[in-house]
Amino acid sequence: MRINKKILLVTILCGVSVFAQSFIQKHDDEKAKNLKVLPKDISGKELHEIMRGYSMALGVRCNFCHVSEQVEGQEKPKFDFASDNKPEKTIARDMMKMTAAINEKYIGKMVGGDHTLEQITCVTCHMGRKTPIITVDSLKKPQ
Ligand code: HEC
Ligand code: HEC
């Protein structure tokens, strides 16, 4: 009898974990429908890491670039990630192309002596801000 209970418990736990895993899997495997710059076969996990990177680089949340609406009685907003209706997303696409071009056409072709030159990313300019600092006026003056 005791053993049966244990088996039952293990069976339930396995069931719960399989259910949870399939849920996570589904979320990660959901195919992106509207990628124009990133590779279309990118994994969900990789895509989310890149998106988290953009958010951190600009100091924003997903809704800065993605259309979302608040649903009554629901804590989290509902996102339409494939939509291009926010201009910030379109600007971000151009920024992605610009960043890649700077790396490929310029930094990648510089002769940097013995050291390998670093490539730039969004954070290089944005430093956690929506708008990068574009004048030196806000910086501390050298003594
Ligand atoms: C700075 C702007 C920006 C931020 C912030 C951002 N994204 Fe994105 N996101 C984009 C751009 C641009 C694309 C389209 C890339 C392309 O065309 O290759 C995209 C595409 C996506 C897609 C694919 C949609 C589809 O079906 O084509 C998903 C999913 C996504 N983002 C999720 C997120 C999540 C989750 C966050 C927050 C953690 C986030 N994004 C934050 C700019 C952003
Ligand atoms: C070489 C510097 C540089 C790099 C690299 C760069 N940006 Fe930008 N970004 C700018 C400048 C400059 C602006 C315009 C600021 C303004 O309008 O005053 C800007 C503006 C933006 C805006 C519009 C912000 C707003 O307030 O509407 C978005 C979105 C953005 N960048 C996303 C990105 C993303 C995503 C990346 C990386 C893929 C990136 N940027 C890389 C310099 C850069």
Nearest CA to ligand 1 atom 8: 51
User: 71 alpha carbon to ligand 2 midpoint, in Å?
Assistant: 30
Atom of ligand 1 nearest to the CA of 88: 2
Q: Looking at the CA of 45, which ligand is closest?
A: 1
Cβ within 8 Å of residue 26, ≥6 positions away: none
**Percent of the chain with pLDDT strictly greater than 90:** 63
pLDDT digits (tens, 9 = 90+) for 44-103: 999 999 999 999 999 999 999 999 999 999 999 999 999 999 999 999 999 999 999 999
CA distance 37 to 130: 21
Q: Which of 29, 49, 27 is nearest to 38 (CA)?
A: 49
pLDDT band at 10 (very low <50, low <70, confident <90, very high): low
Q: Is 123 touching ligand 2 by the criterion CB < 6 Å? A: no
